[in-house]
Amino acid sequence: MGSTAGMGSTAGSLPRRVLITRQLPEGSLEIFTSKSYELIMRDDDEPWSHSELVDAARNADAIVSLLTDKIDEEVLQAGAEGRLKVVANAAVGYDNIDLKSAMRFHIAVCNTPGVLDETTADLAFLLILAASRLAYEAASDLRSGQWAGWGINQYLGRDVHGALLGLVGYGRIARAVADRARGFGCEVIHHARHDTGLPGFISDLASLLGRSDIVSLHVPLTDDTYHLIGRDEIALMKQGSVLVNTSRGQVVDEQALAEALLQGRIFGVGLDVYENEPSVNPLLLKSPRAVLLPHIGSATRATRTTMARMACQAVCDVLEGRTPDNLVRSEN
Ligand code: GLV
């Protein structure tokens, strides 16, 4: 169970209590130190169980959560029965939070848009390059002593320069990937729910999948995007193409993708996210053409610190009566 670390209080008023679910990057909590806030947090980095979260929510004015915390109706209801006003997720995605229940209980939800776009786009591009050039397969052979010397027919990948890159979703991260791709001489097309009015917009997902040499996914996880790339869509992808996912694992049918990869329909995949994290489909784990990273899209010290600070700032804004820029609105 969590301990309460006192951070001072204002005479006569109830101190504001913020539940911090996990250890945040160093320096993230400074905003609270000058205020009369109490922090409920653990000394270690053990995740809170669901029942612990429910109990802690009853006594908190705010929660700073991470994408691994399931902030569901039960947690929110317990919070609403107490004094919970805001849940600030230190992530751009907020599919771990039941937004409808939060709205019903008048609990604000905040996320961290804008501050991780470039860092995540860097990682998406790393996966595009690594999957296209068989970097994992080649590096593994070298490390395990399998490499017997240079060969003209070894590790023949796909060129990234000059490739047609299809972006599914065209928010800030996708656009940052597009900037990088143009620097590599790629042609870039994109598909989004609404016409972006921008060059390269393709209204039909099937047509984008059929044309692209590389497909990179940049949509949030919602009821509409669950298995957006399912068995049928994978079958539409160009023979020998590459798929990269840095969004959410459930956007792709992982089993169908793994089978397509093993059958050689798909040349390679670069994944940073999985359907059932931290589990990874065993077929993917045994495929040398799958570059698999452990959900590190925004993982640089600078970006993760900025994300955590942004979430903490949003807590102060809501509790002190200001509307944060990063408030999630129902239409998002
Ligand atoms: C990471 O996946 C995020 O949503 O910030």
- What local confidence, expressed as pLDDT, does residue 330 receive? 73
pLDDT reported for residue 34: 80
Average pLDDT value over all residues in the chain: 95
Cβ(174)–Cβ(216) below 8 Å: yes
Nearest CA to ligand 1 atom 1: 91
pLDDT given at position 10: 43
Alpha-carbon dihedral angle through residues 280, 282, 286, 287, given to the nearest 10 degrees: -70
- The string of DSSP codes covering 148-165 is -S--TTSS-----TT-EE
- The pLDDT assigned to 9 comes to 44
Taking only the tens place, the pLDDT of each residue in 128-186 is 999 999 999 999 999 999 999 999 999 999 999 999 999 999 999 999 999 999 999 99
**What does the pLDDT average to over 82-98?**
98
Query: In this model, does residue 88 exceed pLDDT 70?
Result: yes
Nearest CA to ligand 1 atom 3: 91
Place of tokens 């089993």: 255
331, pLDDT greater than 80:
no
Closest by CA position to 219, among listed 189, 280, 164, 174: 174
By most ligand atoms within 8 Å of CB, the mutation choice from 115, 116, 225 for ligand 1 is 116
pLDDT number for residue 55: 97
Q: Which strand ranges, in their side-by-side order, compose the sheet holding 187-191?
A: 187-191, 164-168, 214-217, 241-245, 266-271, 290-292
Cα separation, 80 vs 204, in Å, equals 42
- The 3-class secondary structure across 5-37, one letter per residue, is EECCCCCCCCCEEEEECCCCCCCCCHHHHCCCE
pLDDT of amino acid 67 = 97
**Cβ-Cβ contacts under 8 Å for 331 (sequence gap 6 or more):** none
Which atom of ligand 1 approaches the CA of 246 most closely?
2
Asked if 220 contacts 93 with a C-beta cutoff of 8 angstroms, the reply is: yes
User: What ligand 1 atom has the least distance to the C-alpha of 273?
Assistant: 2
Give the closest residue (by CA) to ligand 1 atom 4: 93
pLDDT tens sequence across 273-306:
999 999 999 999 999 899 999 999 999 999 999 9
What separation in Å is there between the alpha carbon of 13 and the centre of ligand 1? 36
Q: Which residues have C-beta within 8 Å of that of residue 199, sequence separation ≥ 6?
A: none
Query: Hey, what are 74's tokens?
Result: 């039960």
pLDDT beyond 90 at 22: yes
- Looking at residue 5, its pLDDT comes to 44
Residue with tokens 């807590």: 315
Ligand 1 mean position to 130 CA, how many Å?
21
